[in-house]
Amino acid sequence: MSKYLVIVESPTKAKTIHAILGKDYDVTSSMGHVVDLPANKLAIDIDNDYLPQYRVI
């Protein structure tokens, strides 16, 4: 049987949400952000409605 994956920021939230959703869900925490704006460049496309250019961390 397949499960659904839910990723939240904190381990405490993961435990609480898993208790609510039940055994059909794997709930895990990322321990923080999973994307960020790069610090070494502008990271915003000014020609495309200031669209942010995120990177996976």
Q: Given 2.40.30.10, 3.40.50.2300, 3.55.50.30, 3.40.50.140, which CATH number is that of 4-56?
A: 3.40.50.140
Indicate the pTM of the whole model.
Answer: 0.63
Q: Are 51 and 44 in contact (CB under 8 A)?
A: yes
Domain residue ranges in the chain: 4-56
pLDDT digit string (tens) for 1-57? 789 999 999 999 999 999 999 999 999 999 988 888 888 888 888 899 999 998 888
Written as one string, the DSSP assignment of 3-55 is -EEEEES-HHHHHHHHHHH-TTEEEEE-SS-SEE--TTS--EETTTTTEE--E
